[in-house]
Amino acid sequence: MTGVREVCIIQVGYGKVGAPLVHLAIENRARIERETGVRLQYAAIVRSSSVALGDDLALQAADRGTSFDEWTPRASGMTLDILDPVFDRFGLPDTTRYVLVDVTATAETGPLILEALGMGIPVVTANKIPLAETPGWFEQAWKASRKARTPFRYECTVGGSLPVISTLVDLMTTGDTVQRIVALPSSSLSCIMGDFNRGLPLDTAIADAMRRGFAEPNPLTDLAGRDALRKVVILAKTMGLPTSIDDVCQEPLLDMNYPDFETFQGKGMARLADSLTAARKPGEVTYYVGSASADGAVTLGLRNFPQSSIWGTLEPSENLFLFSTSRFGDLPVVVRGIGGGPILTASGVLADIIKAAQGQN
Ligand SMILES: NC(=O)c1ccc[n+]([C@@H]2O[C@H](COP(=O)([O-])OP(=O)(O)OC[C@H]3O[C@@H](n4cnc5c(N)ncnc54)[C@H](OP(=O)(O)O)[C@@H]3O)[C@@H](O)[C@H]2O)c1
């Protein structure tokens, strides 16, 4: 193919999503080059205190997965300085030759991403924390990206590999007015509440979500709803609302802060089961749902829906996003499916890397 564009990936994070991402990118790179004209190379894989530099090591990582151990200690900190060894080796003639990929779960990468965008380096992230939790960060990243037309892609922060952000951005860019988004963004809560809606006892529903890998090792993290809250904030910010995480009107699922899951089991579990049962009326299903409206109201809490509606057809762990817009009128645009999980998320991140490499914002 003529006009092949060589792009160097700097990937920060090599965990449950990061390891399969390297594998997917390398396994599919001949196809990606054939189909898109983008030749993906790895410049670096960066972990919390170590780094693997160069494509040869990434090839080995792709083969060996989590048993790959050719890591070199790296300088501490999370500013652009940590990329000096990358730029020394691969040069810095054209920053758009790189894509910086964040597959960590920390606020520490926030400054690095802003610096990269400021230099014109395209960014792809699956990490919700800076976007939703660091005040003003999303707005700064958005502005830096728009100012220099540097791609900043964060599709996988909300629906895993489902096309949620791209659908929303396409609606808005083409001049539609998004009046409201209603979302079931948490796979773990979808799994737990979906099983509960089907009549399983709550403790069995939680155990099932853990067994299927949807819930965190400590399911209280899921039940506290922070992950869903972050996703709703990212949706609201993408709509252009000035929402911060503290602005969301959140109805907590849990009646108090439990120090650990063991303490919650027993009375806490029984109280939550009782309140979920009391919330649901016959012929309805109950889910923990976020919504963001053009008038600025952003909420997260329990909502009931008729069993006969789309909500009654959801499989446990499915995500659902409904976009009500002026053009689409009474029937919202629907995005649904199981988007989360490490492999699906890695595939969504890879799709974002290809689009960023092609200069798509
Ligand atoms: N898992 C899913 O199904 C899923 C779905 C959608 C979105 N996501 C998002 O994807 C991201 C990654 O998730 P994950 O499950 O892969 O997380 P994970 O398994 O905990 O991996 C996190 C990685 O980040 C690295 N890291 C942490 N702090 C760092 C720092 N300061 N500098 C460089 N690297 C650092 C860790 O390094 P060490 O290896 O050295 O500890 C680790 O490799 C998260 O933001 C998550 O919310 C995950």
- Check pocket membership of 104 for ligand 1, CB cut-off 6 A: yes
Residues of the chain with CATH 3.30.360.10: 178-338
Q: Whose CA is nearest to atom 29 of ligand 1?
A: 48
Determine the CATH number of domain 178-338: 3.30.360.10
* End-to-end Cα, the chain, rounded Å: 24
User: From the alpha carbon of 342, which atom of ligand 1 is closest?
Assistant: 3
**Does ligand 1 have an atom closer than 6 angstroms to the CB of 106?**
yes
Give the position of tokens 């090591």. Answer: 57
Spans in the chain with pLDDT lower than 70 = 1-2, 93
Q: Ligand 1: does its nearest atom lie under 6 Å from the Cβ of 345? A: yes
Model's pTM, two decimal places?
A: 0.96
Q: Backbone phi, then psi, for 100, in 5-degree steps?
A: -90, 125
- In terms of phi and psi (left: phi > 0; alpha: psi -120 to 50; beta: otherwise), the region of 65 is left
Whole-number pLDDT of residue 93: 66
CATH of domain 5-161+343-357: 3.40.50.720
Phi first, then psi: give them for residue 360, nearest 5 degrees: -80, 130
Active-site amino acid positions: 231
Cβ of 17 less than 6 Å from ligand 1:
yes
pLDDT confidence of residue 359:
93
Q: Whose CA is nearest to atom 25 of ligand 1?
A: 13
CA-105 nearest atom, ligand 1: 45
Residue from 323, 329, 325 nearest 162 by CA: 323
Q: From the CA of 126, how far away is ligand 1's center (Å)?
A: 9
Position 91, amino acid:
G
Question: For residue 168, what pLDDT is reported?
Answer: 98
Distance between Cα 248 and ligand 1 center (Å): 25
Atom number of ligand 1 nearest to Cα 157: 7
Give the chain's length.
361
Q: Which atom of ligand 1 is nearest to the CA of 106?
A: 28
- Nearest Cα neighbor of 21 from 52, 55, 78, 65 is 65
| Distance between Cα 194 and ligand 1 center (Å) | 27
Strand arrangement of the beta sheet that strand 72-73 belongs to? 72-73, 50-53, 38-46, 5-12, 98-102, 123-125, 152-153
pLDDT digits (tens, 9 = 90+) for 21-39: 999 999 999 999 999 999 9
* CA 252 – CA 274 distance, rounded (Å): 15
pLDDT for the residue 76: 83
Å from CA of 259 to ligand 1 middle? 24
SS3 letters for the chain?
CCCCEEEEEEEECCCCCHHHHHHHHHHCHHHHHHHHCEEEEEEEEECCCEEEECHHHHHHHHHHHHHCCCCEECCCCCCHHHHHHHHHHHCCCCHHHEEEEECCCCHHHHHHHHHHHHHCCCEEECCHHHHHHCCCHHHHHHHHHHHCCCCEECCHHHHCCCCCHHHHHHHHHCCCCEEEEEEECCHHHHHHHHHHHCCCCHHHHHHHHHHCCCCCCCCHHHHCCHHHHHHHHHHHHHCCCCCCHHHCEECCCCCCCCCCHHHHCCHHHHHHHHHHHHHCCCCEEEEEEEEEECCCCEEEEEEEEECCCHHHHCCCCCEEEEEEECCCCCCCEEEEECCCCHHHHHHHHHHHHHHHHCCCC
The confidence score (pLDDT) of residue 1 equals: 54
Cα 204 to averaged position of ligand 1 atoms, centre (Å): 28
Q: In which residue ranges of the chain is CATH 3.40.50.720 found?
A: 5-161+343-357
| pLDDT at residue 71 in the model | 96
pLDDT value, residue 96: 84
C-alpha–C-alpha distance, residues 289 and 194, integer Å:
12
Q: Which atom of ligand 1 is nearest to the CA of 108?
A: 31
**CB 340 near ligand 1, within 6 Å:** yes
How far does the centroid of ligand 1 lie from the alpha carbon of residue 275, in Å? 34
Q: From CA 39, how far away is CA 20, in angstroms rounded? A: 19
Q: Are 311 and 127 in contact (CB under 8 A)?
A: no
